[in-house]
Structure formats: structure tokens, C-alpha cells
Structure 1
């Protein structure tokens, strides 16, 4: 497979083959069991293929469309595992018929991987739209729920608007540089300095819409509330990882420590997202909306890591993405295990009804809050170290202050679960596969927090997101060595 497709990560054609196979099976005979088996098998094979050798690109590396570097391998592994968690959550939850639900999940995962490894504007935009259109179908999949239609319409309008803004920015970037490389345009050699600045601002605006960073965040709570639980998890985890990875690769060749308009915009959005996300979640009575606000705040924390280039910057971001993915997926899986209870009031007395499920939810919330011994504590500390090394004092103050706000609403859910109830209703249990998923994520969240050394070594050894090669001053031989060294 790799011999026929030089420079292309094997995970992409494997996902494409799994999608084609599932389409053929749907046309032949519908079966949710077979659909979920094909989806999980495809994701597992794609995960295993990430460490297969990729045939070098024949010729100048600047002509490559994908970058199979260490950053892509790590990010793709996180997205494939998160998508597999969404598939497991969807078992007996997807609706009727369910086959196309898993097909759309695989399509969205394919688009996310294309975005994460893209080095070309056109390929990146195709991956982004594949992900967006898949999400649109997934959000509206439960046709009998009025909230699903409302959420899908809101997502359709804002996704179309943000894609148009992003595409306009990419067009301006091409007009300035004459290149389709997916990278922030340089203003040093530009005839009109305003053109690359406008291009970068528009691309950032489009990506911030997709990331739901403040002040482009208003759609996320409504969409996640109306979407099924597996889809809400997919939006909050897989799509966020893909979009942050693309943002990191876009600025891989830029000096974000330089005081300019782009750095200031990123810093302002980071600070607004930290406070805005936590304040949004503060008054929520719905767990999905609470986790939406939490997701927005975590985007702000990740932007702080992005703005702290150096020995800890992107390594801390990679570690934080793993911690965020495990805890957020686990929280949604616990919600699914409670028969889809999303109202915080319905979780009152959960320690008396379902002590194991309540304990797992506590582990996830404690990790998201950054409380030891869960992995979220070390992840947030790692970002603080990166911020200190880059002297981001104001942003560090915002992180500490906003995290204190976050403690209230996370622990408020824990308090509700510990309240005694006079009458204990009959417990409703989820599927065995979902229970196994919750157990595995809870164990990983605790053990990785107690023993983070392995993951720290993995993130520190990553290649940083590869910058545009000809602007980095690399010739074909040096660039080839950088891309394919182990």
C-alpha cells in the first residue's frame, strides 16, 4: 500500500477502505453489529499502521501534500482512540437505522486525520469540510428529537460562515505568496504587509470558529446539548484535537514570541477562552452544556502552550491533549452509562445508586479540574512550566484565576452525586462495552497522573509540527532527513 502511495500515511487509505467496505455492507444488508465491528476494526488497523514506514516522497519535499512526522503520528493516535471511544458509546444509542451513523463517524475521523497531516491548503480544506459535513449528519441523526434539528441548523449556518471566512483567508495567503503551503504567510518579503496580516487574521478567525474559542464560541453549548452523547464526545475531543493540530502546524514556522498583531490576537483569544469558557459553564444545569464550557476553557489553556515556544511548549500541548481526551471521553462515557442522563439534578444520589459509575465520573471531573492525582493536574502543571519558560506572566495569571472558577462547577457535580436521596430509584445500566470503556479510561486517567514519565518522554521526543520547508532554509536532502528521521 505504501509503495503505491509515497508520502501518504497508511492510516488514510485504511480508513478509506473501511468506509468503502461499510458502504457496500449497508447496500447489501443492514446490521448494526456488523457496522460497529467494521468501524472498530478499521480504527484499530489504522491505529496499528501509524508506525509502519512511509515510502519517501520522490523529489523535492516541498511538493509533499502530507507530513508523516512524529507530531502527526501522535495526534492521529489520539484521534483514532477517541473515535473508537465514540463508536463504543454509540452501541445501541445511534438510533434506527444505525449503520450510516458509524459510516459518518469514520468519514469524520478520516477528515480529522487529513487535517492533522496536511501540508497543502487544498488538502487541508477538503479534510476540514469532510469533517464538518460528517458532523452535520451526526448531529441531526436522531430525527425524532427537535433539539437535534435545532442544533444541526445552528451548526450548518455557523460552519458555513466560518468555512467561507477561512477559505477567503487561504485565498489571500495564496495571492500573497503564490504557494499552496498550509503555513502562516511571512510578511518580511511581501510587497504589501497588510495582505499577509489580513490572510492570517481571516484564517485564525475561521479556525477559532471551528475550535469554538471565545468570542466565536456561542454555537457549541447548543450543538452539544442537541447532539447524541457519542457525537458530543466526538465534537469535544476528536474534532478539537484535529483543529488544534492544524493550528499548531499553521504556525510551526512562525516566531510567536515576537510582539506583533498575530501574537496579540492569539493571546487575547486565549485569555477570553479561559475566562469565557469557565464562566459559561459556571451556571449550567446540563452536563453537556457544562462540558461544552469546559471544552472552550481548555482551548484557552492549549493556546497558552502554543504561545510558549521552547523546550516545553508543544510537548506540554501534546501531553495536555492526551489528558483532555481521556477525561472528556470518560465523562461522556459515564453519561452514556447513566442511560444518557444529562441534567445535573438527575445525578443527585448517584453514589447511592451507582457508586462505581459515580466514582468514575469523579475521576474524570477531577482530572478536568486539574486536581491530583489525576493526569489533568500534571498536564496543567506542564503548561504552567511552558508558560514560565516563555515568560507569559499575564496568561499564566489568567490560567490560575480561571482554573479556580472551574473548580466550583466541577466539584458542584461531585457534590450533587454525594447528596443523600430519600428514595433510591432503580439503577439503569448501560452496555457492557461502555462499562469497560469507562473503567479503562478511569484507570488510564489515574495511572497516567501517578506515573506520567512515559507520556512525558513520548511528547518530548516528538518532532515539532513541520514548518514550510523552503522558508525554513532546508534543501531537499536536509528536509527529507528531518521528515523521516526516527
Structure 2
């Protein structure tokens, strides 16, 4: 038996301090440059603190709402780096009162970190609502654009509905288990199977709404199209990483290798997401809507990894999260750099802006799972996990979805290789954006050619601790 880490992760008070400092800076004098410096310094300092010991938490392990274990450290690192990339992407693109934009980004990042480390229903819900309320302001940031208002209203209504469903499921789970700790309700409880089954279904439905998994996905394309490009990247990357981390923690103590209510529901949604997300992206002419469909499909791939317990399951999911976050952030950074979201505007980009077009092609190739980009190894890793767990149906859906994805990803590359139209003149890319795009493209290729370091790191991860182990502070 080894003791589980107990205490408060240092990155959380650092983020809280950075948020307070940024509020003081706004109250003193508005400055976008100062806000970006404070936000970046806070995120990088929080990232550097991930390997520091946890701060003391009164009451011992039984009172711990958050678990700063290896799973949290890895997920928090992805969240903080992705948020830092979003801050750079937003430079000179947020209009007036831009410093408040970065304040909301930090608040959303704080909520995502709380979700990633939560081992308790209260912590999960508080983190989720902190993230959701921050996103509401970020989505509606460009108040003069009708699409922003429409996207914010849709997000407000459906986010509130999904939160209510999730809260009702958590309440039923508490009624069944008598504990606020994460524990999937057992269908053979003292009151019969009805309440535990309802609790599991409602909790999964609420989380699937937030993850925008099929059939709870209809809000995502409209919201991402209406939101500013950096906010769309934040939704597609940071919120998805945090939600999947919380989902994996919630079902850490469940046996997903054998048939059951949760296993069946997860498998159905995984198949629907892999096929539905790719089919949704297939007919899109707007890049942000296309990447929304792509994001839905990638949720299905991650659910396949979650449903493949064994030596490769969690490791493949962790690796895939890293590959997905790099490529998706890079694709949105390229859209932001060119200030073009319609595929028609990218025609002839290899002739007009070859460096930007090459970087965009690298991101798309990675998302499609084509070597030598990191997405190829990430998808192969998940296939290995699915084969080891004998998830034949899910693997068939992954293959079919990947074939569909090849068409729309490579269709964008084909459009960039066409002759350049005379009436399209993409905006000049700012140096900060160009540096971000170049760095992400290099990492995408380097991690695909030399994946050993990331593989070792993901294989060394212990799975999220089940609720019983968290409660008693030790793990076998």
C-alpha cells in the first residue's frame, strides 16, 4: 500500500493570486499588454509549480476535495500550456476592454483545473460552473456581432440545462452511496436498481452535454462559429481535456471491461460521436464549424480508450489528449493568424502564404492521423488499446470515422494548393502569432517522429485513484 498525495495543488493558489493581481491592474489602469504579461506569467508559474509538493490541507486525506496525483499533474500541464497558447492567440484580437478578456480566461482555466483534480461532487460542480460562466462571457465578447449573441444564448440555455441534469444525477448518486466522493452507483443497491441506474444515466448525460458528444452535440458548431477564434480554441481544447479527466476520475473505480449500464451507454455514445462528428464536419464550409465536428469525433476516440482498461487504455488516452491539444490549438492559431475562417478564403494559400499553409497542413494531417505527425501515433496507440480490450465494434467505428475524416481534412489541404484567387488577401500575421504557429507545428512533427519521451511519461501514469482509495488515503 502506498499513500496517496493529499493537499492543495500549488497551481490553484497561484492562479487565484494571478486573478486577484489582474483585477487590481484593471482597477488601476487598463492595458492589454500588461494583462497579457500577468496572464502568461501566472500560467507559466502555475505550470512550474506542478512538480512542487502539495500544500497542507486541514483534515487529512478524508477532507481532500482535490487529488494532486500524477493524473492531475499531467492533465493540469496540458490545460495550462493550452491556456497560455490561447492568451497569445488573443493578442490584439479582443477589441476594447481587452484586459477583462484575459481575466475571464484565467477564471476558466482555474475552473478547468479544479475539475481535473476533483475527487468529490462538490469540487466537480464548482469547477464546472466556474468554467461555464467564464465561457459565457468569452463567447459573447464581440457584442456587436449577431452571431456572438446567438452563440451565447444557445450556450447559456443548454449549459444551464446540462448543469441541472448533472446536479440531479449527483444528488441521486449521493442518495444511493451516502457519500459525496466519486463512486459510480451500484445497480444492486438497497433500494433496487432504479435509482442507481437513473443516477448513472443523468450524470453521463450531463457530462456528455458538456463534452458535446453525440447526440448532445448540436450546440457546439453554432457556439464555436459565433465565438472569437481564441475562445473557440479554448472550448475545443481546455474544456474537453478537463471534462474527460473528470469523467475518467469518476469511473476510476468502475469495471468498464465488463458489460453494464455505464459501459453500454459509454460505448453507444462513443460510436455515435466517432461517426456523427465526422459526418457533421464533412459538409462544412466554415473552418470553425468543421473543427467543431472534428472535436466531437475525437471525444469518441477518447471514449474508446476509456473503455479499454488494461496496460494501454489510460496511457493511450493521455497521449491522445496531448496530440489533440497541440494539433487543434495549432489549427485555430493558423485561422487566427490568417483571420480567415471560410475554406474558400484558404484557396491558394500555399502560393500566397506558404509558411502559414504548411503549418496548417501539418495540423490537419495530425488530426487526420497521417504520419509523420503525432496524430498518427496517437490514433495507433488507441487502436492498440482497443485491440487489447477486444473492442471490435468501437474499432470498426474508429476506422470508418477516420476514413471520413481523411476527406474533409485533406480537402482543406487541396484547397490551399489550388491557384490563388485575386480577391483574397489574408491579414498579416502578428509576430507573436507566427511564433506560436511555428512552435506548435514543430512540436507536432517532433512528437510524431520521436514519440518515445511522451510514451514513457504516459505509461508511467498511475490511473486516477478510485473513491475508496482517496477516502482512506492509500492505494494498493
State the TM-score, normalizing by the size of structure 1.
0.95
Q: Is the CA contact 2:6–2:61 (under 8 Å) kept in the aligned structure 1?
A: no
Partner of 2:355: 356
Secondary structure of 2:390's aligned partner: coil
Structure 1 match to 2:416: 417
What does residue 87 of structure 1 align with?
Answer: 87
Residue equivalent to 2:206? 206
Whether 1:284 and 2:284 are equivalent positions in the alignment is: yes
Following superposition, the deviation at residue 422 of structure 1 comes to 5.3
Give CA-to-partner distance per residue, 1:332-380, whole Å, 9 cap, x none: 0000110x20000010000011000000000000000000000000000
Tell me: CA distance 1:19–1:269, structure 2 relative to 1, closer, same or farther (3 Å).
same
2:251 maps to which residue?
A: 251
Shift of 1:186: 2.7
Q: Deviation digits for residues 297-327 of structure 1, max 9, x if unmatched?
A: 0000000000000000010000000000000
The CA deviation at 1:59 is 5.7
Q: What's 2:234 paired with?
A: 234
Q: Residue 182 of structure 2 contacts residue 466 of structure 2 at CA under 8 Å; is this kept in 1?
A: no
2: CA distance between counterparts of 1:318 and 1:213?
Answer: 19
State the shift of 1:232 in Å. Answer: 0.2
**1:38 and 2:38 equivalent?**
yes
Whether the 8 Å contact between 1:353 and 1:424 is mirrored in structure 2 is: no
Distance 1:425 1:148 in 2: 25
The alpha carbon displacement at 1:469 in A equals 2.1
Q: CA deviation at 1:185?
A: 2.0
Q: What is the aligned partner in structure 1 of residue 429 from structure 2?
A: 430
* TM-superposed deviation, 1:259: 0.8
Q: Provide, for residues 228-247 of structure 1, a one-character-per-residue CA deviation record: whole Å limited to 9, x for no partner.
A: 00000000000000000000
Partner of 2:395: 396
Structure 1 residue 426: deviation in Å?
4.5
Q: Distance in 2 between matches of 1:305 and 1:47?
A: 26
Secondary structure of the residue that 1:310 maps to in structure 2? Answer: coil
Larger CA deviation: 53-62 vs 11-20: 53-62
Whole-Å Cα distance in 2 between the matches of residues 235 and 475 of structure 1? 35
- Kindly provide the CA deviation profile for residues 101-146 of structure 1, in whole angstroms up to 9, marking residues without a partner as x: 0000000000000000011111110100000000000000111111
Pairwise CA RMSD of aligned residues?
A: 1.5
Instruction: Name the CA distance, whole Å, in 1 between partners of 2:425 and 2:150.
Output: 32
Q: Deviations over 1:400-440 (max 9, x none)?
A: 01100000000000010000125375452121111100000
- Local SS of the residue matching 2:467: coil
The residue number in structure 1 matching 2:381 is 382
CA contact (8 A) 1:267 1:307 kept: yes
- How far apart, in 2, do the equivalents of 1:431 and 1:266 lie? 43
Structure 1 partner of 2:452: 453
Tell me the residue number matched to 1:320. 320
Alignment of 1:22-171 (within 5 A): 22-55=22-55, 61-171=61-171
* Alignment check: 8 A CA contact 1:373 1:449 kept: yes
Distance 2:50 2:448 in 1: 25
Aligned to 1:311, what secondary structure does the other structure show? Answer: coil
> Conserved in 1, the CA contact under 8 Å of 2:347 and 2:421?
no
In the alignment, the residues of structure 2 paired with residue 420 and residue 204 of structure 1 have an alpha-carbon distance, to the nearest angstrom, of 48
Q: Is the 8 A contact 2:162 2:207 kept in 1?
A: yes
Quick one: distance in 1 between partners of 2:145 and 2:323? Answer: 32
Distance 2:241 2:107 in 1: 16
**Who is 1:308 aligned against?**
308
TM value normalised by structure 2: 0.97
Contact 1:62 1:469 in 2 (8 A): no
* Residue aligning to 1:371: 370
For residues 279-314 of structure 1, give each alpha carbon's deviation from its aligned partner in whole angstroms, at most 9, with x where no partner exists. Answer: 000000000000000000000000000000000001
1:224 aligns with 2:224: yes
Q: Is the 8 A contact 1:327 1:367 kept in 2?
A: yes
- The alpha carbon displacement at 1:58 in A equals 6.1
> What per-residue deviation string (whole Å, max 9, x for no partner) do you get for residues 451-474 of structure 1?
10000000000121111125x8x8
CA distance in 1, matches of 2:365, 2:256: 32
User: Structure 1 regions of 5+ residues with no counterpart?
Assistant: none
Structure 2: how far apart are the matches of 1:148 and 1:425? 25
Question: Retained in 2: the 8 A contact 1:66–1:117?
Answer: yes
Kept in 2, the 8 Å contact 1:275–1:398? The answer is yes
Post-superposition offset of 1:147: 0.5
What residue is the counterpart of 2:463 in the other structure? Answer: 464
Contact 2:6/2:64, CA 8 A, preserved across alignment: no
* Residue 185 (1) aligns with residue 185 (2): yes
